[in-house]
Structure 1
Amino acid sequence: MEPKDLRTIYPDAERHNYPAIDPAYLSIPTDSGYLWLLKKKLSEKEQLLLALLSKEVPSSGKSTNSLWYQILFRQKRIEKEGHFRVIQIQLQLPDDFLIDAWKEHINGIFSHAEDSLFLTPQSALLIEKQAEYTLTKEELEGIFLTLDDDFGTLSSVFIGGFHGSTSAFPALFEEEQTIFREESHLMNRQRVFDISDVALHYFTKDALAKSSLILSMKEEWVIDEEMKEIIYILWRNQGNISSTAKELFMHRNTLQYRLEKFQENTSLQLKNTDDLILCFLLLNS
């Protein structure tokens, strides 16, 4: 069932960027966020059917009284001074996932964590206060790779920025949620990312979508799936040929040949930063 169909059947449904933890609501995941349906307006059969169709596990409501839930989703003021970031985590879970053991590991790793919340069985938030030493993106990537190995999970992680404890914090977090939802598909094999990884595309995509020139180039240049992967990974490795070949499990000379053939067809040299940026944006417009 498509979200527009649900809105037709349930015109009072509310759209939010996050799932409902409040047990009074049933939240249905969509491509653009979540639709909240007030349970008291639904029959028991409707609730069961919608939960089944959406594969959404009804919320237990256990996190609604959490201070940070109130801050992020109910605009409660942050009483503490300092800077905080929200790390968003999406998990693909095995049938025998040990959630309590996973939480215990997380709490042991993040010594400056303020709170951790599971919004759904597959979606979690970790709130961390900035300290003298903060884990880097590379260190976080290693941590989540290890957790995935240990628990049989597959993690996708967005590292939010550190923001001061101001009234704007919930709005900043909401935009980070939108970025995570809309841009995570760009990351290909990279499972841990932040705003710097997707900023160029995120802040230019509206202009690209309106460009006749970009549309013309997309129609004229036929880029196969292998070449698309090369462009994504070359972009992620900042144009470094050796690193890209290693990540692709491809001989450096083979990669060089593919780049030369691409140049013959498009006149673009992907070793040139400006040409690489153009191709990256072209693929994601």
Structure 2
Amino acid sequence: MRIVNNKDILDLFPDAKLIKNNDYPENSQIIETKLGKIAFPVASLTERELALLELFDVKTVANDDYNPWQNYLMEKGTQPAIVKKVRFLYLKVNKLAHDLRSSWEELTHSFFTNSSQFWLTDELFIIVDQDCLLTKEDFTGIISAIDSDFDCQTSLQIGLIWETADNLPEIFNEERTIFATDSQQLDQVSTIPERAFSYYLNQANHNGLLKAYRKKLERNESYPQLIVELYRVGGNLSKASKQLFLHRNTLEYRLDKLRDDFGLNLRKVDDLVFALMAIRSK
């Protein structure tokens, strides 16, 4: 049998599959042939078949290239374990020398105790952050220092905080789209709320993320009213506490709790507007 295309290979190896979009199946031997990348499940290969593969002009791709989070977010794998909550960090890295990438990744990873990371494109680096502790101010200092060390230019978008039950692949796709949209001049480090108003104002049909956050906020029946009243008084906490018949300290506590649980600081205009857009989303 003369092999002339991918179908011929798949006829010989029924369990093999073509690789698209760098989707590397787990526990497979990835072979880069002249016909493209093909994954061969190790468990299904005999010694004779392994020997046959050596006849091709191939290059074996290391299994380190496989990342379960990348596979899952591209809707091609199962959800990896999440301890409690998760957020996605989107880093666009320009002018990073290729031979410095490994060192750059190692330094970047050192700021987290519970995270996964992968390159989605040559310039877009994703961190799956399960600590959710570092603030915008923290990241601003970190990114500036790293850029200085590696003579590169990085912009970062901090994603919202999510949980296991949320539709993370859909959310990831929408957050990534928001990051890719140059809607306004922003700081080197930005957040979803800072980008949301301009984005959703021009993308009326793309409101899946807002709907998802409305459901999360509505779990606490006091949050929607708190958000509306705080917006009506222009973020003035004293006026809001009077309108809500709450002690100022109680309001402060709820704002802190909302910030810790959802990553929204309603003392900031962008975050308050985003929360209002979310609870009013249809």
TM-score normalised by the chain length of structure 2: 0.48
Larger radius of gyration: 2
